[in-house]
Chain A
């Protein structure tokens, strides 16, 4: 006769050490504060929409009344990966170039590739993050915010 409190769970629940996208983003957010001596701070704002979890990476400027600049945002399902890119650091466009981003359905080639397939693994997310944080757009935004916060 089966035991009433028989443990039906497998001995191996498949719990492995997975670094979540949120943890990767928060680590970078903390590092921004350390690198700028607290003048700029990174923060990750997490929300959920339906079954999707969205992370917005924000640069905060405490000296400017906690001004917030959303740098990029990504989302993923409960499976964690792939991670889909929703918004990237804004690129300034030449004055004569029309702003196609407002045209419904417009996306750049890179956007279309990333948005369609997503970043399929932790290394892929780290690679994209490395490129994004080192991009000219990100550097320009950080330099501008830093200068304003420092009163330069």
Chain B
């Protein structure tokens, strides 16, 4: 099983919590968003132990603050970039004796700087970029992970022209859906299973208390989407919203992300049986 952890760090120097999570949760591949930690500092924290070391797999388009940084226990040639930009990187994860997959890591624009309509239109572009990468790779074994800055029920995520990510495995297994004569491939969105207060886990990955009439408080901006061809690789426990890094709680006493300890986002952890 390959274990992935994705975390929007909100530009905080959280290298010691990341190292603790990487070690205690046996993470193989780290996807860090809004990561302003110098690579050397992060590698120093990650590689303090005696196990296999972490490698930095650079995203060539990295910007100083809005960058996506990927660290893996494999060397970077196994996570070669396929396509990249300031807010996304698509990697070809090719591990020996395992089925190769495409990993698309995204950090989509915040609602603070982008209207709902703009977000929907942007999703169409990201979906097209992923479809193009799939055509180049010759398969659709794709996992999308990152901070979409949208909830799973929003049009950009659900819409056929966007990510077309459904909550239902059975529907996703249809592979695609025809809308107005055009076929759109599905993603399966396991994050729906993380909504609500079940088993003491937080209802989302990001808390925002708005003064508007409609406030969800908890949002599921950090998501994992799987093409139907990868759905069976996700273990039954699905995706976990992580609330502790070893002995350190990432939540404040009121149950919200503790920005003084961690980030304003909670990490998401998942595994794939490749």
Contact = CB atoms under 8 A, between A and B. Distances in A.
The yes or no verdict on A and B being binding partners is yes
A62 B44 CA distance: 14
Interface stretch (B2-10, B55-63, B117-125, B144-152): B55-63
Interface stretch (A16-24, A37-45, A78-86, A114-122): A37-45
Q: Which of A38, A39, A62, A150 has the most CB of B within 10 A?
A: A38
Contact of B40 (A33, A39, A66): A39
Interface string A51-90: 0000000001011011000000000000000000000000
A37 B39 contact: no
Interface string B40-62: 10011011100001111110100
A65 B39 contact: no
A62 B47 contact: no
For chain B, the bracket of interface size reads 10 to 19
A63 B54 CA distance: 13
A18 B196 CA distance: 60
A141 interface: no
Contact of B43 (A39, A66, A151): A39
Nearest to B50: A34
Contacts of B40: 39, 63, 149-151
A137 to B, nearest CB: 23
A66 B58 contact: yes
Given A149-B39, A149-B40, A151-B40, A38 B46 contact: yes
B60 A38 contact: no
A41 B76 CA distance: 10
A18 B76 CA distance: 29
B60 A37 contact: no
A37 B53 contact: yes
Interface in A118-142: none
Nearest to B55: A38
B53 A62 contact: no
B24 to A, nearest CB: 19
Contact of A37 (B38, B43, B57, B58): B43
B145 to A, nearest CB: 21
A84 B58 CA distance: 34
A65 B44 contact: no
A51 to B, nearest CB: 27
Contact of B47 (A37, A60, A149, A150): A37
A63 B60 CA distance: 10
B38 to A, nearest CB: 6
A62 B55 contact: yes
A62 B60 contact: no
Contacts of A66: 58, 60, 76
A38 B76 contact: no
A37 B39 CA distance: 11
Interface in B43-87: 43-44, 46-48, 53-58, 60, 75-76
Given A37-B44, A37-B47, A38-B46, A65 B60 contact: yes
A38 B58 contact: no
A9 to B, nearest CB: 30
Given A63-B40, A150-B40, A151-B38, A41 B75 contact: yes
Interface string B113-148: 000000000000000000000000000000000000
Interface of A: 33-34, 37-39, 41, 43, 60, 62-63, 65-66, 149-151
Given A62-B57, A66-B76, 4 more contacts: A33-B53, A62-B56, A62-B58, A149-B40
The 8 closest A-B pairs by CB, nearest first: A37-B47, A63-B39, A62-B56, A150-B40, A38-B43, A38-B53, A37-B43, A38-B55
16 contacts: A33-B75, A34-B53, A37-B43, A37-B44, A37-B46, A37-B48, A41-B55, A41-B76, A43-B75, A60-B76, A62-B56, A63-B43, A66-B76, A150-B38, A150-B40, A151-B38
